[in-house]
Structure 1
């Protein structure tokens, strides 16, 4: 097999795995009973899904700057999702469960 075929297969596998984790996070959002477990499902599954998608796209980029931009976007999403989930969890804990 040539290098391009191996890179293409790796890209397909990684992006499909990332899409699976995105789907699992969405199902967790819809199925889990309370806000804390929903936040856990979304932050863990979506961050892993995006990481796999970025990892799958890295062999396809043509320059180092594009690869760095992809990784930077992933890290910014990690930081943003962690911050937002902490703020949502703190607000829910402060207000208490609704009957």
Structure 2
């Protein structure tokens, strides 16, 4: 019975590490391939956050299972990454890009800037 639990735990750890690696790789490709600041920003913040969290959760489970260590640093790191990376960095970089006049990219050439519309509406 213990061998089955160890096998399941190891499979969960492997899946978390592989999914984290996949998300980080897809974020890297997205930053290189996407056409404008706003889509690159989405790739950089969302996918990399999921990737880092997956790897850190896998490391937490591994440390607890193998050594019996409950790592407070990993728990705080996961919480910090989830709370700060997407909301703060994406918001500030997006506002700075919009303030400097960078327009969103549109495949059909028709761009509707909802943020500029809301700024005009609130004036």
Task: Compare relative contact order (CA 8 Å, sep 6+) and give the higher one, 1 or 2.
Answer: 1
**Could you tell me how far 1:11 is from its partner in structure 2?**
0.9
CA RMSD of aligned residues (A): 1.8
Q: Which runs of 5+ in 1 are unaligned?
A: none
Is 1:73–2:77 an aligned residue pair? yes
Deviates further, 49-58 or 12-21: 49-58
In the superposition, the TM-score normalised over structure 2's length comes to 0.69
Write 1 or 2 for the structure with the bigger share of helix: 1
* Paired positions, count: 96
The alignment's TM-score, normalised by the length of structure 1, stands at 0.84
- Larger Cα-atom Rg: 2
Note the residue ranges of structure 2 that are not aligned, 5 or more in a row.
Answer: 104-123
The runs of at least 4 aligned residues of structure 1 exceeding 2 Å deviation read 3-6
Report the CA distance between 1:37 and its aligned residue.
Answer: 0.6
